[in-house]
Amino acid sequence: MDSDRQRTKVVRRAFGNATAGSTGFFGPFGGAAVPGLGSPLGPHDISKWAWLAFLRDYEVRRASSYDRSGGNADYIRLPLGVPTVLAAIKGPGMIAHIWIPFGRDEKEPFILKQLVVRAYWDDEKEPSVEAPLGDFFGLGLGNVVTYESALANVAPWNGMNCYFPMPFERSARITLANESQVPIESIYYHIDYLLFPKPLEGVGYFHAQYRQQAPCHGWTDDWKSDYEPQIEGKKNLNGKGNYVFLEAEGRGHFLGLTQAVLQNQDDWYGEGDEMIFIDGSELPVINGTGTEDYFGGSWDYRGPNGPAQPFAYQGIGTPYIVNNEKVGGRYCSYRWHLEAPIPFRKSIKVTMEHGHANHRADNFYTVAFWYQTEPHGKFPELPPAAERIPRVFAVGGAGAVPAPR
């Protein structure tokens, strides 16, 4: 039996025939077949919803904040400091959906930057997921904006959802830590998961890693326009000085990222190109043409003269834009590589310029999402909560307060 047929057999045993070639837990990806598995419906697949009729062999369970007494106090309290376990699951299984709504606490306007979500697979000591709660759901500036995408969304009122498949073989543990200055008296959540008769084969473990640079280090603070000759003439072929979203070793594939930006300088922040290095390549294997291009927009999100237009689609979006191209300008973006997650066999390094050839000094707050075999490399140390709160820095450059000397 060849490897594709064997993999089809394993996945169908867990999910039923439908999900091997249609959506199932791959629902956010639409009706496309899972690569390497083929379609069990073949020429009779007249509807992308046909898979709904197929019987399933897995079990569905939920970890939640429901009131164990049977009352209506369906929430938990988050004390300070000590991480609270939201789910402790014995596998094999897979987390399919997480829902956490959050009412803003006026005493802590940046509470979404001060709560940290972590996930551990198969009793590992170091987390495979570590990010401020807001950043994980695409809200990287502490703000709340309603949007929809294939893998994450925010519904009214602050109902945060994600649908990343998170498989595990023996166990899963998800925690939430309150790193603010006040206890959280009530938080609600659902974590929906599947239990399988045996572990899935051919799948990677889900990872999510937060990074920030506030501010990024521009190579000059003496400029008035992004398009001055000294800047336009600068060359960057090898990505030196780029912002780094992710460095990982092992075998896996890069799924995408969320990025929040706070401008410290006037003019357009997004002249930077993405550069992705794969399996130790010295030069980027994938080169971009501009930040807004990577997120699927164009022309500063505004065209020649118009106002910037927020947008949110299944794989691309910048749903939050405020005061664009000015000091204090704010953006939240996401990019899911649903059309083709980017594979690596040994290593990957995902980067982007901050301004053309890294001349700008804005603030970047990001989460990278990927799948890989374990063990994974050690994550960068998470910045303290106070350093994660966005603020404008004096960095010089167009429209900015002069940088300290």
What is residue 306's predicted lDDT score, i.e. its pLDDT? 80
Reported confidence tier of residue 136, pLDDT bands at 50, 70, 90: very high
Reported confidence tier of residue 17, pLDDT bands at 50, 70, 90: very low
Q: What is the pLDDT of residues 325-376, one digit of tens each?
A: 999 999 999 999 999 999 999 999 999 999 999 999 999 999 999 999 999 9
Reported confidence tier of residue 41, pLDDT bands at 50, 70, 90: low
Structure tokens at 349: 């390094």
Reported confidence tier of residue 51, pLDDT bands at 50, 70, 90: confident
- The dihedral of CA 275, 276, 281, 285: what is its sign? negative
What is residue 32's predicted lDDT score, i.e. its pLDDT? 36
Q: What is the pLDDT of residues 360-374, one digit of tens each?
A: 999 999 999 999 999
pTM over 0.75: yes
Reported confidence tier of residue 106, pLDDT bands at 50, 70, 90: low
Q: What is the pLDDT of residues 59-95, one digit of tens each?
A: 999 999 999 999 999 999 999 988 999 999 998 999 9
- Helical residues (DSSP H) of 110-149, grouped into ranges: 111-114, 133-136
Q: Give the domain 59-195 fold.
A: Jelly Rolls (2.60.120)
Contact 171, 123 (CB under 8 A): yes
Structure tokens at 105: 């606490």
What is residue 21's predicted lDDT score, i.e. its pLDDT? 32
DSSP letter (8 states) at residue 214: S
Q: In Å, what is the CA distance from 189 to each residue of 116, 137, 246?
A: 14, 14, 28
What is residue 33's predicted lDDT score, i.e. its pLDDT? 37
Do the domains at 59-195 and 205-388 have one common CATH topology? Answer: yes
What is residue 53's predicted lDDT score, i.e. its pLDDT? 86
User: How far is the C-alpha of 371 from the C-alpha of 284, rounded, in Å?
Assistant: 20
Say if residue 391's pLDDT is above 80.
yes
CATH label, 205-388, candidates 3.30.70.2200, 1.10.150.110, 2.60.120.1390, 3.40.50.1000: 2.60.120.1390
Percent of the chain at pLDDT above 70? 87
What is residue 340's predicted lDDT score, i.e. its pLDDT? 97
Domain ranges of the chain: 3-53, 59-195, 205-388
What is residue 28's predicted lDDT score, i.e. its pLDDT? 35
